[in-house]
Amino acid sequence: MDIKVIPGDKRASIVLAGSVDERGAEELKRRLLDLEIDSLEEVELDFGGVTFIGSAGIGKLLLLYKSLAAHGGKLSITNLSKDIFTMFKVIKLDQIFQLN
């Protein structure tokens, strides 16, 4: 999995490509730990290159959301494939994350 982090003052963009399987989820977690989550108001995840996300990846997204929400931050996910968007809606992640 490829992860490109574009930090900003109060916002960070993360561009993902590949499969967010168990190994990819752990790599994502390591990269997220490098961010100063408490100082961010928003994190945008660009899923344009994501071909698969498993339960481990969804778990990492929920942990990121929880960390951001604790201080009023927001998580948005953009460029979802049709299949991943549908899965997120079925498991009601669209009620937690902002999906674009």
Question: CA-CA distance, 100 to 64, in Å (whole number)?
Answer: 18
CB 1 within 8 A of CB 27: yes
pLDDT band at 58 (very low <50, low <70, confident <90, very high): very high
Q: What is the pLDDT of residue 30?
A: 92
Question: CA-CA distance, 91 to 71, in Å (whole number)?
Answer: 25
Burial of 18 (0-12, 13-18, 19+ CB in 10 A): middle
Q: pLDDT tens across 25-56, in order?
A: 999 999 988 888 888 999 999 999 999 999 99
Question: CA-CA distance, 86 to 92, in Å (whole number)?
Answer: 10
pLDDT band at 11 (very low <50, low <70, confident <90, very high): very high
Q: What is the pLDDT of residue 34?
A: 85
Q: pLDDT tens across 63-93, in order?
A: 999 999 999 999 999 999 999 999 999 999 9
pLDDT band at 12 (very low <50, low <70, confident <90, very high): very high
Domains of the chain by start residue, with CATH: 2-99 (3.30.750.24)
